[in-house]
């Protein structure tokens, strides 16, 4: 990662002062505060986040291929920003902290891309690989949150079935 890009990412992290919250906190919020309908909305939000991040990762991979060939990567950079911006629209302010972390981290990536001229294609192959890795981390985090939500819902369904059988 170039020093300029690394410094910009670190500065943005410090500005937002967001901490990486474990997925268990999200599950506690769901159990304690969220009704079934809201749970479905959070699931839909995560489904959209995963879709947008998957597309952004794919665009980053294509940009890396184009950069290796000496071709213009700016269309891919613009598409990455569009995907990250679209993802932001799927996350409401009342989403759990861990989902808000993903939104805020994506915002930092977008800002860093603009400030380091990555958006217009002025970047190194190493920075593109670092960008892809950052996007991969966010995608993994979103998938982990969704996996834990599905597991928790499955465990709850089993408990309800057992309780009904005992009646």
**Per-residue confidence at 129, pLDDT binned at 50, 70, 90?**
very high
State how far the Cα of 99 lies from the Cα of 153, in Å rounded to an integer. Answer: 18
The pLDDT tens digits for 51-86 are 999 999 999 999 999 999 999 999 999 999 999 999
The pLDDT score that the predictor gives to residue 89 is 84
- Residue 70 region by backbone torsions, left for phi larger than 0, else alpha for psi between -120 and 50, else beta: left
Judge whether residue 23 has pLDDT over 50: no
For residue 123, give the DSSP letter.
-
Nearest residue to 131 via CA among 48, 139, 160, 31: 139
Q: CATH code at 21?
A: 1.20.120
Binned at pLDDT 50, 70 and 90, residue 20 comes out as very low
In whole angstroms, how large is the CA radius of gyration of the chain? 19
Give the pLDDT of residue 126. 95
Provide the mean pLDDT of the chain.
Answer: 81
pLDDT value, residue 2:
73
Q: Is 57 helix (H, G, I), strand (E, B) or coil?
A: helix
What's the rounded Cα separation, in Å, for the pair 57 and 69? Answer: 19
SS3 166: coil
Number of structural domains in the chain: 1
- Work out the burial of residue 6: count CB atoms within 10 Å of its CB; fewer than 13 is exposed, 13-18 middle, 19 or more buried: middle
21 versus 52: the higher-pLDDT residue is 52
Please determine, for residue 145, whether its predicted confidence score (pLDDT) is greater than 70.
Answer: yes
CA-nearest of 21, 47, 18, 45 to 107 is 18
Q: Angle CA(39)–CA(44)–CA(59) in degrees, nearest 5?
A: 145
> Which range marks the domain in which residue 129 is found?
3-165
């Amino acid at each position: 990662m170039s020093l300029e890009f690394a410094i910009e990412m670190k500065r943005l992290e410090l500005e937002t002062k967001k901490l990486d919250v474990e997925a268990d906190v999200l599950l506690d919020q769901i159990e304690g505060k969220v009704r079934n309908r809201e749970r479905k909305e959070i699931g839909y939000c995560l489904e959209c986040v995963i879709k947008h991040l998957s597309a952004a990762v794919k665009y980053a991979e294509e940009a890396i291929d184009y950069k290796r060939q000496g071709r213009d990567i700016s269309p891919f950079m613009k598409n990455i920003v569009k995907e990250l911006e679209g993802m932001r629209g799927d996350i409401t302010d009342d989403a759990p902290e861990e989902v808000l972390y993903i939104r805020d981290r994506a915002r930092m990536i977008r800002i860093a891309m603009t400030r380091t001229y990555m958006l217009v294609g002025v970047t190194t192959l190493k920075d593109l690989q670092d960008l892809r890795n950052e996007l991969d981390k966010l995608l993994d985090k979103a998938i982990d949150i969704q996996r834990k939500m599905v597991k928790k819902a499955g465990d709850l369904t089993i408990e309800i079935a057992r309780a009904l059988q005992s009646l």
